[in-house]
Amino acid sequence: MSEAAPALLRRTFRALRLYNYRLFFISQVVSMSGTWMQAVAQSWLVLQITGSGVDLGITVGLQFGPVLVLGAWAGALADRVDKRRLLMATQAAAALFALVLAALTFADVATVWMIWVLAGLTGVATALDLPSRQSFVYEMVGPDDLANAVGLNAVIINSSRIIGPAIGGLLIAAVGVAPCFLFNAVSFIAVIVALGVMRTAELRPSKPVRREPGQVREGLHYVWRTPELRIPLVMMAVVSTLAYNYSVVLPLLTKAVYGRGGGAYGVLSAAMGVGALAGALLMASRARPSRRLLVASTFAFGVVTVLLAVAPGYLWGMALLVPMGAAGVLFISTTNSLLQLNADDAMRGRVMALWAVVFLGSTPIGGPLTGLIVRGFGVRAAVAVGGVSALATAGGAYWALRRRQMRAGTCEAPVCLPDGPAPGDAFCESVPVSATGAPAATTGGASRS
């Protein structure tokens, strides 16, 4: 047992042995904590100024809407340019917008329309940043450590989701919201410096694509005609839109179903965050993603969500949110890894842009849709719809992958990913065999059936 624990730690954090990714990881911990601090402070500021939930919803929509509108084009841009330099530019722009908001708030002249303008501009920077940031991970670590790096990125997000709001809440109570915006602006410097001092010789940059008409449409066609990309993206679109709307559902569950207050809501959010962190660490400890894990995590997420819909009370709900958070992060991280591994280098930016569109860009659609279901049928019904949709998605993906396996027939040399199922399983990967009998190299760092 004493020897197994260090081995597990090394496997879980193995991407950190790479200098460039280590810089990226540390800077992202700082920056993402600042981002969550600003999110809490911005929502509080809007409520202070207007007291309107509608105005708060508009703020969130303006921040995520650009991802939906500009995401596909941003992916084409990511494939054309040096991703590291583009990231430095988007991080600098986001820092500027946070600094302006801090100055307006310190001067006590901020109005809701100013917040909306800055939220929209920040959303544009985010839309341009996301495809490059996601695909840049591949350039830092390569195919062998990609799943580990994606899992560690989820650790960053979920750790900062706890750290940032906690520090932000203390700052708001002690000195107000303005220092939160200032800290966020300063936190971007860590990312810019980290990107600037990376060892470029150790990166694996994809060759920039020459700008041509129709590249966004070409990316869409490429994804649709590639089942290894189409199936995970469709799964992500359904689950994100119908089942992953807990910014809407959790407050309503707390107040309308369990009859509790703000403190209880914080506990439920923390329970889901703990589960998400555990799921991220589990993903990081795996050698490779697999289609079996993709389907299994979707199915598990659906089962736990349905159980949450019928949970008799607050304590049951809190207990169920832990495995729900873990299954949700496993699903998201596995989707991310499979897409990057199966995408051609020249298309990776556009593929990850579509991932960002269906994950974050679905928020302006899924949030109001969930609200309509709540209004018409109740909170538990809205949760149940999300769970059933996840179960149906898992079933549909299993059927589609099984059908492809049967149609392809038995491959000459079935080879599973290191942590995948046994040969002959419906989700077993297979690779072509070279003349020597060894598995031949495949495009994108992952085997394809």
What pLDDT digit, counting tens, does each position of 74-131 carry? 888 888 888 899 999 999 999 999 999 999 999 999 998 999 999 999 989 988 888 8
In this structure, which topology does domain 214-408 adopt according to CATH?
Growth Hormone; Chain: A; (1.20.1250)
| Share of residues in the chain with pLDDT > 70 (%) | 82
The yes-or-no verdict on residue 421 having pLDDT over 60 is no
Round the average pLDDT of the chain to a whole number and report it.
Answer: 79
Rg (CA), the chain: 22
Name the nearest CA neighbour of 140 among 87, 70, 204, 50.
204
Contact status, residue 77 vs residue 128, Cβ threshold 8 Å: yes
pLDDT tens for each residue of 129-145: 888 888 888 889 888 88
Handedness of CA 420, 439, 341, 157 (dihedral sign): positive
Are the CB atoms for 249 and 370 separated by under 8 Å?
yes
Are 373 and 382 in contact, with CB atoms under 8 Å apart? yes
Q: What percent of the chain has pLDDT over 90?
A: 22
Two domains, one topology: 14-198 and 214-408 = yes
- pLDDT at site 422: 36
CB 101 within 8 A of CB 46: no
pLDDT at 433: 33
Q: Which residue has the higher pLDDT, 437 or 206?
A: 206
d(CA 190, CA 438): 44
Mention every residue, 6+ apart, whose C-beta is less than 8 A from residue 366: 240, 241, 242, 244, 245
**Any idea where the domains of the chain sit in the sequence?**
14-198, 214-408
Gap between the Cα atoms of 449 and 430, Å rounded: 5
At 4, which amino acid appears? A
What number does CATH give the domain 14-198?
1.20.1250.20
